[in-house]
């Protein structure tokens, strides 16, 4: 086992434990709020950190997905290990929620296998990190709208702003940039499972599409 893989395993183990401890502390601090509220706070933290680390790991700003089908850099390995630790934590955490989502569990399972494949094969670092960036860039606003509702800011301008920001960023990232990223990833010499991971991670689910349409209609109605 190479040194980079040993480092990745350490990050994963430390990360899973840290996310678990952070969730327990968050639940105690915000005990008057729902299970989902605490989980969304950590999801927002993960998305923000993951996008920042993914941005810093880009090797060529003129071509964020270059070099294609290549060995990931040390920074890219760290990003994949960091997000893998969160996905493992979140998959475990969602089993304790009162509302269990099979779709969400399958999404997490595929994501976990995708990150593991990237770390094991040590290939497709640029594509996987770019996929993570595109998938998570809108997540903070997605969770913020629900957090605002729970703390009493439902149907306010602040909540509307979160809705509009999410719909705009999601559309640009997943629907505009997403297809291009999927195309170059499928065209490159990547392992088949990594191709499946990238496709499933980028392709928006129906719930998110319906929300975007609802947000757009709501925004136009207010204008």
Calculated CA dihedral for residues 140, 145, 151, 153, nearest 10 degrees: 140
**Band of residue 206 on the pLDDT scale cut at 50, 70, 90:** very low
Asked if residue 143 lies in contact with residue 43, where contact means CB atoms within 8 angstroms, the answer is: yes
Distance CA 202, CA 111 (A): 11
pLDDT at 98 over 70: no
User: Lowest mean pLDDT: which of 16-25, 159-168, 214-223?
Assistant: 214-223
- Beta-carbon contacts of 200 under 8 Å, excluding residues fewer than 6 positions away, are 107, 110, 111, 114
pLDDT at 40 over 90: yes
Where does residue 34 rank: exposed (0-12), middle (13-18), buried (19+ CB within 10 A)? middle
pTM above 0.85, yes or no: yes
How confident is the model at residue 197, as a pLDDT? 85
Segment 105-115, tens digit of pLDDT: 787 888 898 89
**Band of residue 104 on the pLDDT scale cut at 50, 70, 90:** confident
> Which residue ranges make up each domain of the chain?
3-222
Segment 182-194, tens digit of pLDDT: 899 889 888 888 8
Distance CA 18, CA 20 (A): 5
- Beta-carbon contacts of 83 under 8 Å, excluding residues fewer than 6 positions away, are 46, 50, 115, 132
Asked if residue 10 lies in contact with residue 82, where contact means CB atoms within 8 angstroms, the answer is: no
Return mean pLDDT, the chain: 87
Looking at residues 173-202, what average pLDDT do you find? 86
Rg over CA atoms, the chain = 18
Other Cβ atoms closer than 10 A to 69: 17
């Amino acid at each position: 086992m190479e040194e980079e893989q040993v480092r990745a395993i350490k990050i994963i183990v430390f990360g899973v434990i840290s996310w678990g401890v952070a969730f327990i502390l968050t639940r105690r601090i915000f005990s008057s709020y729902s299970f989902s509220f605490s989980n969304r706070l950590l999801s927002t933290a993960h998305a923000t950190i993951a996008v920042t680390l993914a941005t810093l790991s880009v090797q060529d700003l003129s071509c964020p997905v270059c070099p294609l089908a290549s060995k990931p850099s040390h920074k890219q390995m760290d990003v994949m290990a960091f997000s893998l630790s969160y996905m493992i934590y979140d998959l475990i955490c969602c089993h304790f929620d009162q509302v269990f989502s099979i779709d969400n569990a399958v999404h997490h399972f595929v994501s976990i296998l995708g990150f593991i494949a990237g770390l094991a094969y040590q290939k497709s670092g640029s594509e996987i990190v770019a996929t993570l960036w595109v998938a998570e860039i809108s997540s903070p606003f997605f969770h913020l709208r629900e957090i605002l509702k729970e703390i009493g800011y439902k149907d306010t301008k602040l909540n509307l702003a979160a809705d509009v920001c999410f719909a705009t960023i999601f559309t640009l990232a997943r629907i505009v940039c997403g297809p291009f990223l999927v195309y170059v990833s499928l065209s490159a010499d990547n392992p088949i499972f990594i191709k499946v991971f990238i496709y499933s991670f980028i392709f928006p689910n129906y719930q998110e599409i319906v929300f975007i349409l609802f947000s757009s209609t709501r925004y136009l109605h207010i204008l």
